[in-house]
Amino acid sequence: MAESESVGWPIADRVPAGDRPAQPAGSPPPGVVRTHLEELTGPLGIYQHARGRAPNPGQGYCTDDVARAAIVDVLHGHVLGRPVVADSLARSLQFLADAVVVKTGRFRNFRDADGNWLERVGSADAHARAVQSLGVVAGDAADDRSSMAAGLLLDRVLPISLELDGLRPWAHVILGCIAALAGGRPPVSARIVLEELARRLFEAFETTDETWPWPESVVTYENAILAHALVEAGAWLRYPRMIERGMATLDWLLATQTAEAGHVELIGNRGWWPRGESPARFDQQPIDAATIVEACAAAWRITAGPVWLTEMLRAYAWFSGANAVGIAVADPAIGGCGDGLSAIGVNANQGAESTLAWLAATECVRATLSADRGVGLNRLASA
């Protein structure tokens, strides 16, 4: 058997959406449960890691996860009401404010349990996720002190984002700019930063070809966020070619990660997917499923194409067991999620990144189906 056949999905060979299997049956998104979030939260914010359900304070905090937690708080506030999440959101925003290095405007990332920062400057990813988080909070319809504080902080740190290098940091900042622009008081620099980083991301994809339509030699993590950013930016900037590029990229990612049985087979982090080779099957990460969910939701919202609703639900079903192992990764009863999917099962540790990825994906599905539920269900039926 050829290597490309052994993994059960097409390798770098685009399969039209109409030829993919129907998505596995799934259940509607569960109600909001914040039990595990509260378990993971320490005095300064959400702890990075857990041993099983128990938080691991010895591994401290990171800006990456605190930024994700703030976004989840905003999303939960839409369901539960902002007062329910106000204290948690304020704590996260204080963490982000403390993370900024005043002289440079860059975020630090790692912090120990006592509050000491462990580096002078964090990664580009950490800075970009913090920017996206601030954009979401600042642009939220709830006009309270948290939104205002986020906007003021974003105004300070957004211009330096133009110095970031890397496709994923650009994508996170793009989505943060769009979220802020949707609000009432966007930073002056938001439009400028959006246009510049969207141009860079689009041009990176324009250099690819049909034999390998990916702007890197290895397909790694959070891949769908690049397509998501192109689609959202193209819609905001009224640039159809950018939207089309984002849709084609998302379609390629879906085609190469859909098993013959109809479930999503994410690219594993034990080897990723180097050009000319086969994708690693394990370990599959919740954040990758969540970014597909969010990208498909954006594609459906912008184009009204019913296939994107189908693909959103396919990716979301990965969390509930429609995956390579057939085991649920998320635990709706406590609002937690395992840290990965291996060939022998689910990683029992329920750390911040994985839990927050699932919680964000759940709210994305809920919002997508309820925004115009009748139309959404009709589109799904006709897909």
Q: DSSP of 181-249, one letter per residue?
A: HTSSS--TTHHHHHHHHHHHHHHHHHT-BTTB-SSSSEE-SSTHHHHHHHHHHHHHHT-HHHHHHHHHH
Average pLDDT, the chain: 91
Which residues make Cβ contacts (< 8 Å) with residue 203, sequence separation at least 6? Answer: none
**Do 156 and 101 touch, CB atoms closer than 8 A?**
no
Q: Which residue has the higher pLDDT, 9 or 89?
A: 89
Count Cβ atoms below 10 Å from residue 171 Cβ, excluding itself: 27
Q: List residues bridging with 209 in a β-sheet.
A: 212
Q: Can you give the pLDDT at residue 141?
A: 81
Using pLDDT thresholds of 50, 70 and 90, give the confidence band for residue 380. Answer: very low
pLDDT above 90 coverage of the chain, percent: 85
Instruction: Output the CA torsion 46→104→136→247 (10° steps).
Output: -110
8 Å CB contact between 77 and 142? yes
Contact 117, 153 (CB under 8 A): no
Average confidence (pLDDT) over 125-130: 98
Contact 188, 153 (CB under 8 A): no
For residues 311-328, average pLDDT: 95
Burial 339-369 (b: 16+ CB within 10 A, else e): bbbbeeebbebbbbbbbbbbbbbbbbbbebb
Residue 143 has pLDDT above 90, yes or no: no
What does the pLDDT look like over 153-187, one tens digit per residue? 999 999 999 999 999 999 999 999 999 999 988 89
With bands split at pLDDT 50, 70 and 90, how would you rate the model's confidence at 26?
Answer: low
- Percent above pLDDT 70 for the chain: 90
pLDDT higher than 50, residue 14: no
Q: Which residues contact 330 (CB under 8 A, 6 or more apart)?
A: 286, 319, 320, 336, 337, 338, 358
Taken in order of first residue, the domains within the chain and their CATH numbers are 1-30+209-383 (no CATH), 61-207 (1.50.10.10)
Asked if 286 and 354 touch (Cβ cutoff 8 Å), the reply is yes
**Nearest residue to 167 (alpha-carbon basis) of 218, 215, 239:** 215
pLDDT-derived band at 71 (thresholds 50, 70, 90) equals very high
Distance between CA atoms of residues 40 and 53, nearest Å: 8
Asked whether 80 and 13 are in contact (CB, 8 A), the reply is: no
Backbone angles phi, psi at 61, to 5 degrees: -120, 165
pLDDT for 377: 35
* Secondary structure element (H or E) that encloses residue 274, with its range: strand 273-274
> Using CA atoms, how far apart are residues 290 and 320, in angstroms rounded to an integer?
13
CB 299 within 8 A of CB 8: no
Tell me the one-letter amino acid at 225. I
Q: What is the pLDDT of residues 293-310, one digit of tens each?
A: 999 999 999 999 999 999
